[in-house]
Structure 1
C-alpha cells in the first residue's frame, strides 16, 4: 500500500525556467496544458514519499507531550537541492523563498528602516545571504540568536581560458575548488551552471544565472585493459592532466572555426560550441556573453534511496542541507515573534571550502556589520552606549556544517566512543585544539534546546592520531567573541560528487533549529555563568 504513494524523485521545483532575472528571481514559462495537468494531479502523486512525510500527532513521552510534530521538510529539501546546482542558485532560491514568506529585501548600499517584528534579508555577491527577524519585544542590547552555514561545495570550475583540445577531442580546462574526492567525478554525466554577465542592446550589463540541465561533459576513466594495476595500486589521477572533461569531437568544431576568430587574432577563451549551448539556454547571442563564473555540476537529481527510502542521495549535502534546515526554521518560526526579546538570524556564507577569506566568506565582517547596523537602527540615546558590544555578549551562534557519520566499512576511522550514526540525531562537534568552537557551556545550552523538544543529539571528537577539519565556527567566534557551538547532520561520502545522509536527521535538524529560535531566550536566562 505504501508503494502506491511512493515517489523516489520529486519533480524539480519550477523546472521549466531557463534563467534568472538580475534580481535572482526565476523567469518562468509554463503552458496552460501544464497548469491543467498539475491541477489535476492527486495530492499523493506530488508527495515525495510515504505518509511519514505528513504532519503527525503529538507523541506522549516520559517527559510529557513531545512538541515536535512538524511535517517533514525532506521533500522540500530535495526541491531545494535540485534547484541549487551552485552557490549562486542556492542563494537565489533562498531569496525566492524568503520573499514568498514576506521577508523584505534590503540593500547594503541603502539606509535601513527596521522595526520590531520586521523580517528582512540581504545578499552579497549572490552567494552570501543574511536573513533576520526582529522580536516584537526586542530591546537594544539584547542578543542575536544565529545559525550560520555555507553555500559552497567542492566542485570543478572553468578556468578563465577553458578551451583546449587533445587527440581529436574538444576538452574543457577546469580547476579544482576545495578538497573534493576528485576520483568520484570520473564517468559522471556532467554539465555547467553558474552566473554570467550579459550585455544588452542599450550597452548596459546585467547579471543572470544559467543552468544547462542536459549532460554536456564527461571525464572518462581509462579502461582497465590499459591500466592493469589500477585495482591493486589504486586510482591516482593527475588532476591537471587527467581531470579534463570532454565536450565534443574536434571535427564538430570545424564549421565554427571562422566564428571563433571573428574580430580577433587570438584564440577564443572558450569553445564556440560551449558558448552556443549557454546562449541557447539563456536566450541571448554568444557575443552578448561578457564574463562568466561556471561550476561543473553532476546532472543526477537528488533523491531518496535505500530499501526503506530512508536515505538522501545527492550532491552538495555539505552544506546545502544545513542551509535549508536553517532557512526553513527561520521562515517557519517567524510567526512567533510577539514574545521574542532577541533577533533571530540565519547567515549563509560562501567560500568555506577554501578558507572563508573573501568578501562573501565568513572571514569578512558581513554578519557583524549587519548586527551593528540593526542595533544602530533601533537604538535610542536613552539606551546607553556600547549597545553593539552588549548585544554580542548576549548572543549565541550555531555553526551548522555536516558531520562525519561512522562508516560501516571503515569504523576504525572514528574514535571508539564517539561514532555518530545516521538517523540518530544532530551531532555536536568537539575539539580541544579549537578546530571547532564548542565549549562545555555552549554544548550544554544546545543540548537543552534539543531536550525541550525531546530530540536526540550525538557527539563527535576526532581520533588523536588523525587531523581534524574545521568550520566557520571558530572564525565567527573569534571575530568578536560570540558564544558558539559547532554541530552538523551526520553523513557519509563527504566531499564526494554524490553524498548520503539520513532522512530522519534532516527533520531532526530542522526541529532542533526551530526549537533554538523558539526557546533559546528562555533557556539562556536559566544559566548563570561567571563571564
Structure 2
C-alpha cells in the first residue's frame, strides 16, 4: 500500500512539474506586465486575440455564432470573455468565473504637485485597504493611462488617444523616519495616510538644474502656450503636477508634455515578480490579490475553448474580470454594475431575439467567485481556528460564511468540490473565527443581484494587501487545473443534480451518469 501511495505521489509531482513549466512562467510574465488594472486588461486582450477570440464593442450590435469565442472591455479595466458551446441554444446556462483586476495602491491625486522643505513630492490618495506601512522604503515608479492630444496631419483638427504608460526605473520613494527621531516606532508604527505617504520625487535644486523639467514663472514649460499646427490651447497641467513628472511621462510615451491632457496614474513597486524560496516553491510578487486568480481563470478558459472541447458544450463558458472590487465594486465597470448581466442578456437574445429566456438561463448558470484566500500564518496561528486552516500547496479554498459575506452554500460547495474530487485536485475549506470580522468578495453582490448560484473560492496566500505578497507555485497550478475542469465538466455534472421541483428534465430523458 505504501508503494502505491508513493507511486501516486511521484506521478502527481511529475504532472505538476509538467503543468508548472507552462503556467508558472506565464503567471510571472503576466504579473510583471501588469502594474495596473489597465495593463492587466491589455495583457488579457493579447492572450485572447492570440487564442482566436474576437473583440466586440458594447456600443455596436453583436452577431454571435455557436462554437465561436468573443470578448469585450469596459473602461479598459474590465473584460468579459466567453466561448459559446456548439450545442448552445437561448436559455441555456452560463458557466462563469469572476475575479478582479485591481489591488490596493496609492493613486496620484488630481493635483499631485507638492513642494515643501526643499523637496518635490507627489500627492497620492489611498485606494483600497492596503498595508500602507509596506510601501515605505520601496523603489517606486508610476504607471497607468494617459489621455494625449494628437494633431491630425494638415487638417488643423486634433484627436485624443488613450495611452498606457509605465516608467520602469525607480523615480520615487517614501522614506521612513529614522528611529532616532521616533524612539517608540517599534512599539507601533502608526501611519498617517495624509501626511506620511507622500513619495519624494526629487529635490527642488536638482529639479531646477534639470532644464527639461524647469518651469517658467507663468506655469508653462519653456514658455510654450500654443500647440502644434497653430491650435491654440491653455495648459494647466504644469500647475497641477510637477513639470519633471510630466516630462518623464512625455518621454516615455513619445509626446510633448503639453500634449498630456489628463491621466490616471498610481505608484508601483519596481521589484519584479519572481519564483522564490529555498526550494523555489513560492511566488513573491505584488498584486497576487487578485491577478493570480484573474490569470488562472483566463488561461483556463483559453485552454478549455479549443474547437473539439466546445463540440458537445450546451452552455457558455465565461470569465469576467472586474475593476474596483477593492473599493466596493460600485462603478460603471465594477461587479456592482450591470455589465455581466447585460452581457448574458445580449448573448441570450442574439440566439433568440423574440424570447425572454434570461431568467431561465440564470437559473441554469453557475458563478465561481475567485478571490485569493488567507493561508495559515505560522507566526499568527491563533488567527485561524483549528478546523479551518488553509495551507499553502493545499489547493483552492472554498470560503463559507453564515452571514453571507461569502455566497457559498451546500449545493455550490458540493459542485465545485466534486469537480476537484473527480480530477484528484486538492481542495480546502475556510470559515473565519466567530470573534473576527470577515472580508467579502464580488460573490454575494452578484449572487443577490442576479439570483445566480455562486461559490466563493481562492488560492491561499500570505501578506495579502501588502506591496509584496506571496503564494505557493503549486496552488497556481491547482487553480488553473481546477478552473479548466470546471469549464469542461460543469454541464454534465449539473445535469445530474436534483433541482427545485425534482430531477432535471435532461437527467430524466438522457439518464446521464454522474461520472464520465
User: TM over 0.5, yes or no?
Assistant: yes
Distance 1:469 1:408, change over 3 A: same
Alignment of 1:248 with 2:198, yes or no, is no
CA distance in 2, matches of 1:276, 1:380: 52
- Is the Cα–Cα contact under 8 Å of residues 69 and 84 in structure 2 kept in the other structure? yes
Q: Deviations over 1:68-123 (max 9, x none)?
A: 77622011000000000000000000001100110000000111110000000000
Alignment of 1:374 with 2:324, yes or no, is no
CA distance in 2, matches of 1:261, 1:355: 38
Q: Structure 1: any 5+ residue segments left out of the alignment?
A: 1-58
CA distance in 1, matches of 2:217, 2:30: 38
What is the match of residue 214 of structure 1?
169
Of 54, 76, 81, 1:104 maps to: 54
Distance 1:105 1:168, change over 3 A: same
What is the match of residue 461 of structure 2?
491
Q: TM-score, normalised by structure 2?
A: 0.88
CA distance in 2, matches of 1:415, 1:472: 25
Distance 1:66 1:371, change over 3 A: farther
- Is the Cα–Cα contact under 8 Å of residues 199 and 288 in structure 1 kept in the other structure? yes
What is the match of residue 513 of structure 1?
483
Of 404, 421, 425, 1:434 maps to: 404
C-alpha displacement of 1:260: 6.6
Of 337, 343, 361, 1:364 maps to: 337
The 3-state SS of whatever aligns with 1:133 is strand
C-alpha displacement of 1:273: 0.4
Alignment of 1:304 with 2:275, yes or no, is yes
The 3-state SS of whatever aligns with 2:407 is coil
- Is the Cα–Cα contact under 8 Å of residues 235 and 258 in structure 2 kept in the other structure? no
CA distance in 1, matches of 2:183, 2:12: 62
What is the match of residue 151 of structure 2?
201
The 3-state SS of whatever aligns with 2:19 is coil
What is the match of residue 251 of structure 2?
280
What is the match of residue 340 of structure 1?
313
Alignment of 1:177 with 2:127, yes or no, is yes
C-alpha displacement of 1:165: 1.1
The 3-state SS of whatever aligns with 1:307 is coil
What is the match of residue 45 of structure 1?
none
The 3-state SS of whatever aligns with 2:265 is strand
CA distance in 1, matches of 2:83, 2:399: 27
CA distance in 1, matches of 2:353, 2:189: 64
What is the match of residue 161 of structure 1?
111
The 3-state SS of whatever aligns with 2:87 is coil
CA distance in 2, matches of 1:136, 1:60: 39
CA distance in 1, matches of 2:190, 2:64: 55
CA distance in 2, matches of 1:67, 1:145: 30
The 3-state SS of whatever aligns with 1:504 is helix
Q: Deviations over 1:353-391 (max 9, x none)?
A: 00000001000010100000000001166xxx4311110
Over alpha carbons, which structure has the higher Rg? 2
RMSD between aligned alpha carbons? 1.9
- Is the Cα–Cα contact under 8 Å of residues 246 and 257 in structure 2 kept in the other structure? yes
Distance 1:230 1:66, change over 3 A: closer
The 3-state SS of whatever aligns with 2:499 is coil
Aligned residues: 468
Q: Deviations over 1:187-224 (max 9, x none)?
A: 00000000000000121100010000000100000111
What is the match of residue 262 of structure 2?
291
Q: Deviations over 1:294-335 (max 9, x none)?
A: 010000000011100000000000000000000000001001
What is the match of residue 33 of structure 1?
none
CA distance in 2, matches of 1:157, 1:503: 30
C-alpha displacement of 1:519: 0.4
C-alpha displacement of 1:529: 3.0
Alignment of 1:227 with 2:182, yes or no, is yes
Q: Deviations over 1:478-499 (max 9, x none)?
A: 1110000000000000000000
CA distance in 1, matches of 2:52, 2:495: 30
Alignment of 1:458 with 2:428, yes or no, is yes
What is the match of residue 9 of structure 1?
none
CA distance in 2, matches of 1:339, 1:66: 31
Q: Structure 2: any 5+ residue segments left out of the alignment?
A: 1-5, 153-157, 226-233, 502-516
The 3-state SS of whatever aligns with 2:240 is coil
The 3-state SS of whatever aligns with 2:216 is helix
What is the match of residue 75 of structure 2?
125
Range 447-456 or range 318-327, more displaced: 447-456
